[in-house]
Amino acid sequence: MRGRYRGSPLCLAVCRFDAKTTSLLVDLGADVNRVGSWFGTPLMCAISIRNLELVKLLVRRGACLEYTDENGDMVSGVKSSLPYPEITWWLLVGRFQDQKKLRDHAFNGECVIRPWSGKRQYSTILKGSYGRRWEESTLDYCIRLAGLRRMMRGEAVFAAFV
């Protein structure tokens, strides 16, 4: 459904301050960046009606902060939010501070920090499809091993020492 006067269902839900319906419409695949009313995108609707909760919901669901209108002009969500300092602050700073951060200590208590021992070289017996095939000559086997060596160069091998 597309409309400029009544608006798209997503813009209509945003204009009605209905976070539950907005979330449901986004979950069902509504385009959060589609211009759906005379405000513009649903994010611009949320900014215009000064609803920080819906601004957070739409930005976290992938809404772009700017879009190009039908005249080809760029419309900025940050510029539109300048009359509302709490929304401007959240768009510029708060949305990055809401996220979880790394802690400065281990989650399971203190652990011994050891220096990295560096890379190690090892050899292994090739089995399965990498082993020598009964129909291939020694030269063919060496050529295939050289290709395997090139393919494995720079790859990390994870092994558990028992």
- CB distance 94 to 59 below 8 Å: no
Q: Which tokens belong to 29?
A: 């695949």
Domain assignment of residue 116, yes or no: no
CA distance 136 to 96: 59
Q: Are residues 16 and 59 in the same domain?
A: yes
Helix (H) or strand (E) holding 130: none
Q: Are residues 21 and 91 in the same domain?
A: yes
Q: Give the CATH number of the domain where residue 43 resides.
A: 1.25.40.20
Q: Are residues 89 and 30 in the same domain?
A: yes
pLDDT tens column, 112-129: 767 777 767 767 677 777
CA distance 70 to 34: 12
pLDDT at 1: 41
Higher confidence at residue 1 or residue 106?
106
CA distance 144 to 139: 9
Look at the alpha carbons of 110, 116, 119, 120 in this order and tell me if their dihedral is positive or negative: negative
Confidence of residue 78 (pLDDT cuts 50, 70, 90): confident
Domain assignment of residue 129, yes or no: yes
- CB distance 19 to 55 below 8 Å: no
pLDDT at 3: 47
Asked if the model's pLDDT at residue 2 lies above 60, the reply is no
Query: Domain of 146?
Result: 122-155
Q: Give me the number of domains the chain comprises.
A: 2
Q: Are residues 71 and 38 in the same domain?
A: yes
Domain assignment of residue 107, yes or no: no
Q: Are residues 88 and 126 in the same domain?
A: no
Domain assignment of residue 133, yes or no: yes
Confidence of residue 105 (pLDDT cuts 50, 70, 90): low
